[in-house]
Amino acid sequence: MTDKPSVLFVCVHNAGRSQMAAAWLRHLAGDSVEVRSAGSAPADRINPTAVEAMREVGIDITDQTPARLTWDTAEASDVIVTMGCGDACPVFPGKRYEDWKLTDPAGQPLDVVRQVRDDIKTHVTGLLSTLKP
């Protein structure tokens, strides 16, 4: 790990879970961690319910766009966190992996997405504690 650790959050569509996780890490870590997110089959846009759930806690993710997972993005990351993409998430040798079991917020009502948001914050807080020297 370099002086500034890098974390890549990956889910299938890069429209909900991985975007919320990246936003939480940016919010909690500031510029002390390089944050990336990607999807194995990215959606056209961020899940609007995820946008609303994050807005409720003062975090704006409207400027984010789902991105495709690439070899270069994974290779440049110290930690890769997968969220429900199963076999669609490739394994990159030599990387630290975490797999977070989280409900997919796609098509879920706001109250369910709020719970996913809060679960993600708990995971991100734990992850952040392992990244600091």
Tell me the pLDDT tens digit for each residue of 31-78.
Answer: 999 999 999 899 999 999 999 999 999 999 999 999 999 989 988 999
- Topology annotation, domain 6-123: Rossmann fold (3.40.50)
Q: Report whether pLDDT(88) > 80.
A: no
Q: Report whether pLDDT(84) > 80.
A: no
Domain residues of the chain, as ranges?
6-123
* Reported pTM: 0.93
Q: What is the pLDDT, as a whole number, of residue 82? A: 92
Our answer to whether residue 89 is catalytic in this structure is: yes
Our answer to whether residue 133 is catalytic in this structure is: no
Our answer to whether residue 40 is catalytic in this structure is: no
**Closest to 35 measured CA to CA, from 127, 118, 133:** 127
Of the candidates 11, 33, 54, 83, the residue annotated as catalytic is 11
